[in-house]
Amino acid sequence: MASAGTGKMTVNPDIAKERRNAGFHVENLTNFIYHGPERVRRRRYMQNIALQDPVMKDSKPWAFRTREEEYELSLRKQLHVLQRQKDLGITDEFDKFYYNEATAPNENNPVGLHFGMFIPTIEKHGTEEQKKKFVQPAKDLKIIGTYVQTELGHGTFIRGLETTATFDPKTQEFIVDTPTLSATKYWPGNLGKTVNYCILMAQLYSQGKCQGPHMFLCPLRDLTTHQSLPGVELGDIGPKFGFNANDNGYLRLNNFRIPRINMLMRYSKVLEDGTYVKPANSKLSYGSMVMIRASIVGAVSRALAQACVISVRYSAVRRQTEVSPGGPEAQILDYQTQQYKLFPLVATAYAYHFAGQAVQSNFLNISKEIEAGNLQQMPVLHALSAGLKAFSSWGASAGIEVCRMSCGGHGYSLASGLPKIYTNITPACTYEGENSVMMLQTARYLFECAMMVQKGQRLPDLVSYLSMDLSAKSCMTSDVALGCLVKAYQHRAARLTNAATAVVQRHINEGQKPTDAFNMASTQLTWAARAHCHQYVVKVFVTTVTEANIDDRTKAALTTLCKMYAVNGIMENLGEFLQDQFFNTDQVDILTRKMMTLLADVRPDAVALVDAFDYHDKVLDSCLGRYDGNVYYALYEYAKSSPLNEKDVLDSFHKYIKPLREGQATSSLPSRL
């Protein structure tokens, strides 16, 4: 059975009926999502340990915490979890991931970047000596670090960073400095109050020459007293849209000295006499960002999946409006417009889940080659991870907001759990590379590929479709075959890439500088990049479903979702598919009808499809998304627990309203209002 609900109340009959009527066995799909029954068992086991732990039980709902309480509670829980995992001997990365997922769901924690970026960056970019010196103390939390790159003045343009690290051969030290206000580091997670070290991105100067941005291990606070070190000024940047358990910080350095060994020197080096040794590729120092971008696709898929669980379950128990006078009110899930809002998003959550796995596996394979010194695939990996990060985080953010609005008024309450999910994930559109900027990086790669096609050169597999014959028309017939859907997406992406490339070339031919020509075509270039990412996601979904080794009924349900994802994407971007008459009007009619049929096909399976994600009620943290469907009971209890209700009459009444009335009693009120 999927995640059990809270309490011992009877299950809402509408949601119970949905589960009885599903056309496939939920557990089979859960097993497919999480790579087999053993992993599913392990995931539940890990999450149960976390959820049963008394330290994890919150005295008040997340929504009622102050920022200070949130920070402190989150830190306490996270450190407890680390100790607990150590005590229980949990070392497997999957086990740890699932355990953590249940500890403080959708709450960004104060040591996340220590494990997510600080340690991995040292492991990937440090020398053996540096790894020996820093990794174990970091794992033991003797040093706690983060990744400090963004400045007040520059986030996107890394080459424009102003923080300097100047080598002093006399003392064998780097002098790190914040020369201007705009050079102040601003935004890095956990920087304000938690960490005592960081990876600092700074412009390296040696022998009077600037060698561009490099990474340095920079101590910030005394390891015993935690006081900020002399020459270091840092703090929290204040409340944000979300991320409130995270002390995103600012940092200024005043000619602060660090030893030469603190420059991460696996790829580039500064020798004792100040000689600079170049890396094989200057973009190797951007490797940590690529790693996180690749992982963001999976993270946003989980956020969207949770939002879908909440809104689909709620839509199954919410009844609104008599369909015929005097008759029963319908489940809102029976309204086609509600289905059209939600079912494509359920399909999208699955699509991103599979795409996230594919990108991650590409990342791991190519990383191995890079580690071995083969850098050939770096541009492919960069283009894929940058584009997919942008495509999926945009899609998930917009989708979660649709989920929220589809829950009507109750969606707006923090009790729904949806604002928490949204505010935690939407900054993924900004961090690790602002999305438009990332799309432009992917576009830059596509542009180069289009030039290769013009020269008759062979393209890497991932983009080989760009050389397809664009005069061919769609093969779409009423069966709406998966293969035809993939071809449609490839055609659209190839056509948009060619069109944007032609615009760049036209501007160059008209005398523009290549950089200006690129900017003048950049909107169209991002359309091409978006279309490329979309075709990748569709292709991965189709391949996953086609190759899936699962029972027929589960496969049929997944195939329906896969078609829905692809057909919906065409309907939403119809202009781009129609511009060169790739589809004729009959084919558009076929797709429109298919979309409506697919909504009806998904309807009986909708609750089962979201149940299959197997999110525990405590992970969803939502009054609307409860497994047992007892939504009104939960909302009523939530309202009662509002701190404003602790007293019947608030002090503010006595302070402000009462004196006003007393004042009014003595003043000359008009006799009639």
Ligand X SMILES: Cc1cc2nc3c(=O)[nH]c(=O)nc-3n(C[C@H](O)[C@H](O)[C@H](O)COP(=O)(O)OP(=O)(O)OC[C@H]3O[C@@H](n4cnc5c(N)ncnc54)[C@H](O)[C@@H]3O)c2cc1C
- The distance of closest approach from Cβ of residue 41 to ligand X in the complex, given in angstroms and rounded to an integer, is 35
Contacts (CB under 6 A) with ligand X, residues 226-285: 243, 248
Other CB atoms within 10 Å distance of the CB of residue 469: 7
Stretch that binds ligand TC6, among 34-42, 52-60, 428-436, 611-619 (CB under 6 A): 428-436
150 belongs to the binding site for ligand TC6 (CB under 6 A): yes
Long-range contacts of 479-487 (CB under 8 A, 24+ apart): 480/563, 480/567, 480/590, 480/591, 480/594, 482/542, 482/545, 482/546, 482/559, 482/562, 482/563, 482/566, 483/542, 485/538, 485/542, 485/563, 485/566, 485/567, 485/570, 486/535, 486/538, 486/539, 486/542, 486/566
Contact of residue 444 among ligand X, ligand TC6, none (CB under 5-8 Å per partner type) = ligand TC6
Query: What does the per-residue mask of binding to ligand TC6 show for 94-133, with x meaning CB under 6 A?
Result: ----------------------------------------
Task: Return the residues of window 384-423 that contact ligand TC6 according to CB under 6 A.
Answer: none
- Residue closer to ligand TC6 (CB basis): 441 or 592: 441
Which one among 105, 126, 145, 189 touches ligand TC6, defined by CB under 6 A? 189
- Quote the least distance from Cβ 580 to ligand TC6, whole Å: 28
Q: Could you say which of ligand TC6, ligand X, none residue 286 binds, taking C-beta under 5 to 8 angstroms by partner kind?
A: ligand TC6
> What are 358-361's contacts with CB under 8 Å, separation 24+?
358/536, 358/540, 359/294, 359/297, 359/298, 359/384, 359/385, 359/388, 360/294, 360/295, 360/297, 360/298
Number of residues that bind ligand X (CB under 6 A): 21
Cα separation, 348 vs 18, in Å, equals: 21
Piece of the chain touching ligand X by CB under 6 A; list 30-38, 142-150, 264-272, 569-577 = 142-150
Q: CB–CB of 52/81 below 8 Å?
A: no
CA 548-551-552 angle, 5° bins: 95
CA distances from 246 to 85, 202, 424, 582 (A): 22, 23, 11, 49
Two structure tokens written together for 435: 């999305």
Q: Which two tokens stand for residue 626?
A: 């409860």
Binding flags for ligand TC6, 281-300, as an x/- string (CB under 6 A): --x--x--xx----------
147 near ligand TC6, judged by CB under 6 A: yes
User: Binding segment for ligand X among 118-126, 324-332, 433-441, 594-602 (CB under 6 A)?
Assistant: 433-441
> Candidates 146-154, 414-422, 650-658, 659-667 — which segment interacts with ligand TC6 by CB under 6 A?
146-154
Greatest CA separation for the chain: 92
Let me know if 27 is a catalytic residue: no
Is residue 185 close enough to count as binding ligand TC6 by CB under 6 A? no
Find, among 387, 216, 372, the residue nearest to 290 by Cα. Answer: 387
93, 432, 448, 510: which one is catalytic? 432
Q: Which of 219, 356, 427, 625 binds ligand X (CB under 6 A)?
A: 427
CB 187 to ligand TC6: min, Å: 7
Beta bridge partners of 199: 147, 217
Question: CA distances (Å), 417 to each of 11, 306, 307, 407, 615, in order?
Answer: 20, 9, 8, 11, 13
437 is an interface residue for ligand TC6 by CB under 6 A? yes
Closest CA to 589 of 496, 480, 486: 480
Structure tokens at 618: 């405590």
Nearer to ligand X, 107 or 605 (CB): 107
Shorter beta-carbon distance to ligand TC6: residue 169 or 379: 379
Closest CA relative to residue 354, chosen from 388, 382, 401: 388
Nearest residue to 474 via CA among 491, 459, 450: 491
Decide: is 518 part of the binding site for ligand TC6 (CB under 6 A): no
**Residue with Cβ nearer ligand X (429 or 480):** 429
**Residue 158 touches which member of ligand TC6, ligand X, none, C-beta under 5-8 Å by kind:** ligand TC6
DSSP type of residue 372: T
Cβ of residue 160: shortest distance to ligand X, in angstroms? 9
Q: Which helix (H) or strand (E) holds 382?
A: helix 378-405
Determine the interface stretch with ligand X among 340-348, 367-375, 434-442, 473-481 (rule: CB under 6 A). 434-442
150 is in an annotated binding site: yes
With left for phi above 0 and alpha for psi between -120 and 50, is residue 65 left, alpha or beta?
beta
Q: Does 378 bind ligand TC6 (CB under 6 A)?
A: yes
189 annotated binding-site participant: yes
Report d(CA 110, CA 104) in Å as an integer.
11
Q: State the minimum distance, in angstroms, from the CB of residue 453 to ligand X.
A: 25
For the bound state, the minimum distance from the C-beta of residue 433 to ligand TC6, rounded and expressed in Å, comes to 3
Q: Give the one residue of 21, 52, 83, 156 binding ligand TC6; rule: CB under 6 A.
A: 156
Residue 556 binds to ligand X (criterion: CB under 6 A):
no
Strand stretches in 490-607, DSSP E: none
Instruction: Report the first-to-last Cα separation within the chain, whole angstroms.
Output: 63
Q: Which does 248 bind (CB under 5 to 8 A by kind): ligand X, ligand TC6, none?
A: ligand X
3-state helix, strand, coil in the chain (%, to 5): 60, 10, 30
With 0-12 CB in 10 A as exposed, 13-18 as middle and 19+ as buried, what is 257?
middle
Is 524 a binding residue for ligand X by CB under 6 A? The answer is no
- Binding footprint of ligand X on the chain (CB under 6 A): 113, 147-150, 154-156, 187-189, 243, 248, 427, 430-431, 433-434, 436-437, 440
Active site residues: 432
- Binding footprint of ligand TC6 on the chain (CB under 6 A): 147, 149-150, 155-159, 189, 283, 286, 289-290, 378-379, 382, 431-433, 437, 441, 444
